[in-house]
């Protein structure tokens, strides 16, 4: 499993990098679960990293607006992100999801085919009226995306593991990997969840709160990044 850590700014990016994160995921938690940060923040982190690890950037918990989403995706790609991550929060059907992801992929890969598109659903989809995660792997594969992810939409301390069983997660991971996709799991992950994560073995785990000492509004601590990295190695 690779460890994706989500810094808000350059100082947190330094902390995540020094702690051993495999991927730096630039986001802005003030704007939601997958809140988008500013282009200059993405660029600054990319310059800091200097190619040592990939940089990911979230482009928001998106409504069904393919044009808006594709323009945001191109902005993140132009700003230097290697992975462009879109949350399909306001998407209500597989057809809408495919329309969104296809246009995001077209925008990103038309600019640089080496960059990867991450399509994210939400484990607590029933709370927000979004699509079930199990619809996502087939949509992502047919749309040309590279990674599927599940996260929590509402950050109230409840984790992905409260909304999806171990079997649900295994099925999601298998569905994605069988279609040639990488699979990422996120959503208020704690140290207590590591045994389960080892059993289901996703390609990537995404974290913030756990490496901020349990409060995602606090700052990333390099020693906690290192502790988590060692624990999953």
pLDDT over threshold 90, residue 124: yes
Is 102 among the catalytic positions? no
pLDDT at 217: 80
Radius of gyration for the alpha carbons in the chain, expressed in angstroms and rounded: 16
From 27, 102, 116, 229, active-site residue: 27
State the pLDDT at residue 215. 80
Does residue 175 surpass a pLDDT of 90?
Answer: yes
The boundaries of the domain holding residue 150 are: 2-232
The C-alpha angle with vertex 80 and arms to 74 and 85, in degrees rounded to 5, equals 55
| Spatial CA neighbour of 184 closest among 117, 109, 101, 111 | 117
Question: Domain with 127 in it: what CATH number?
Answer: 3.20.20.380
**Inter-residue contact 86 to 148 (CB < 8 Å):** no
Confidence of residue 233 (pLDDT cuts 50, 70, 90): confident
| Whole-structure pTM value | 0.96
So what's the pLDDT on residue 214? 83
* 79, two tokens: 């700003």
* Long-range contacts, 177-180 (Cβ 8 Å, 24+): 177/203, 179/137, 179/138, 179/140, 179/141, 180/141
Residue 116 is a catalytic residue: no
Catalytic, out of 30, 43, 65, 85: 85
Number of domains in the chain: 1
Residue 212, judged by CB atoms within 10 A of its CB (0-12, 13-18, 19+), counts as: buried
Q: pLDDT value at position 70?
A: 98
Q: Is the pLDDT of residue 218 over 90?
A: no
Q: How far apart are CA 209 and CA 223, in angstroms?
A: 14
């Amino acid at each position: 499993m690779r460890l994706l850590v989500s810094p808000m700014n350059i100082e947190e990016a330094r902390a995540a990098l020094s702690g051993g994160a495999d991927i730096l995921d630039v986001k802005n938690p003030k704007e939601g679960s997958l809140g988008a940060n500013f282009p200059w923040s993405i660029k600054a982190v990319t310059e800091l990293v200097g190619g040592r690890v990939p940089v990911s950037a979230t482009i928001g918990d998106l409504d069904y607006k393919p044009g808006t989403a594709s323009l945001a995706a191109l902005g993140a790609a132009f700003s230097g992100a290697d992975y462009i991550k879109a949350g399909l929060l306001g998407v209500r059907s597989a057809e809408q999801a495919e329309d969104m992801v296809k246009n995001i992929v077209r925008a990103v890969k038309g600019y640089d085919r080496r960059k990867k598109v991450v399509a994210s659903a939400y484990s607590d989809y029933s709370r927000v009226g979004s699509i079930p995660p199990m619809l996502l792997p087939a949509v992502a594969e047919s749309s040309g995306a590279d990674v599927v992810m599940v996260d929590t939409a509402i950050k109230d301390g409840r984790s992905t593991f409260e909304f999806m069983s171990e079997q649900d997660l295994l099925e999601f991971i298998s569905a994605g990997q069988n279609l040639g996709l990488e699979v990422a799991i996120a959503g208020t992950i704690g140290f207590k969840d590591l045994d389960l994560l080892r059993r289901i073995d996703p390609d990537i785990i995404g974290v913030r709160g756990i490496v901020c000492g349990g409060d995602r509004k606090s700052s990333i601590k390099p020693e906690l990044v290192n502790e988590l990295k060692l624990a999953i190695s």
